[in-house]
Amino acid sequence: MAEVAAPSTRIKFWGTRGSISVPGPATLRYGGNTACVELRADDEIVVLDAGSGIRALGAALEEEFGAQPIKLSLFITHAHWDHIQGLPFFQPAYDQKNEIRILGFDGAGATFRQIVAEPMKAPFFPIAMRELSSKIAIKKLTDMECSLGKLRVKAKFVNHPGICAGYRIFTPAGSVAFVPDHEPYEFFLHAAKENRPADEEIARAEERSALVRFLEGSDILILDAQYTDEEYKSRVGWGHGSISTAISLALDAHVEKLLLFHHDPAHDDAMVDAMLAQAERLVQQNDRKLQLAAAREGEELILAGQKQIGIPSAHL
């Protein structure tokens, strides 16, 4: 009798950089393209963000599928350029055989449809979104949970200028959380005005606990760790996290493996190595177990084995 293969989930990094692409000799190992991650599980192709890295993903998909249609779901976390700028260069969007669903939330002052169309608006780009030949469905998310075949996707708004979501994808082999842009709640980017100073401490604690619950037990967490702790001191309010805040969030949420993500454009490969070493020291000092890596463009991660798909009851 043939053995039934254990489910596996594959993740590939196509863009790991934050803010702006920085190709060149100094970023060869960790990569210069902006945010784009591919996840494959249970015959679904999920793409997380459409930074400049999505261009190479598109070429690879066309090569792999040939004349066969490509069906995929692209989740956008937010409207900042480093998360949408690659969309006009995503080759599968120009081929009528392909079906592309683009999902995300309305932004601050812009609908989700406007956000997706923005990089292709005249006079900044010669082809409009509506002229793309593939079957594109733009789906504005309103619920914080949806299904893709057997996969479940849960969303949560995080602390970043404007509206920014994080996603967690539950697959048969485990769950992957993607929070590419997030500042720790020590500084409150949204809702701060609605909270009187006396309430702010409570609000911060509540927001952080809600994020910890959202991430609780993730097998993989891809998280904003743009700055060193020293750099963060002069960048409070810029919307990004630091090494120690990323580590403490991952430890509190009992994450299995943390991937440092959204590398600063000013950081070369040696700097990212140094930040990873600092992160490892912090985990040791805490006397805790946490697998750590800095996300590298082109790198693949595999989750294998049967896990129960499901959101812990606390989230329902």
In angstroms, the CA 53 to CA 90 distance is: 9
- 224 forms part of the interface with Zn ion (CB under 5 A): no
Number of residues that bind Zn ion (CB under 5 A): 4
Task: List the x/- string, 80-109, binding to Zn ion by CB under 5 A.
Answer: x-x---------------------------
CB of residue 262 vs Zn ion: minimum separation in angstroms? 6
Minimum CB distance to Zn ion smaller for 204 or for 240: 240
Stretch that binds Zn ion, among 53-61, 178-186, 267-275, 279-287 (CB under 5 A): 178-186
Residue with tokens 């060149």: 24
Of the two residues 87 and 132, which places its CB atom closer to Zn ion in the complex?
87
Indicate the residue among 88 and 107 with the shorter CB distance to Zn ion.
107
The widest CA-to-CA distance across the chain, in whole angstroms, is 66
In the complex, minimum distance from the CB of residue 3 to Zn ion, in angstroms, rounded to a whole number: 43
Rounded to the nearest whole angstrom, what is the least distance from the CB of residue 48 to Zn ion in the complex?
12
Closer residue to Zn ion (CB): 9 or 245? 245
Strand residue runs (E) in the chain: 8-15, 36-41, 44-48, 71-75, 99-104, 135-140, 145-148, 151-157, 165-171, 174-179, 220-224, 257-261, 291-294, 300-304
CA–CA distance, 65 with 47 (Å, rounded to integer): 16
Nearer to Zn ion, 56 or 179 (CB): 179
Q: What one-letter code names the amino acid at 80?
A: H
Nearer to Zn ion, 181 or 216 (CB): 181
Interface stretch with Zn ion, choices 65-73, 76-84, 88-96, 169-177 (CB under 5 A): 76-84
**263 interacts with Zn ion by CB under 5 A:** no
Taking CB under 5 A as the rule, does residue 181 contact Zn ion? yes
3-state secondary structure of 6: coil
18 lies in the site for Zn ion, by CB under 5 A: yes
Query: Closest approach of Cβ 205 to Zn ion, in Å?
Result: 24
* Closest by CA position to 43, among listed 7, 94, 4, 97: 7
Give the amino acid at 40.
R
Residue nearest to Zn ion (CB): 80
Say whether the peptide bond before residue 123 is cis (omega within 30 degrees of 0): yes
> What's the sign of the alpha-carbon dihedral 200, 201, 203, 204?
positive
Contact residues toward Zn ion (CB under 5 A) are 18, 80, 82, 181
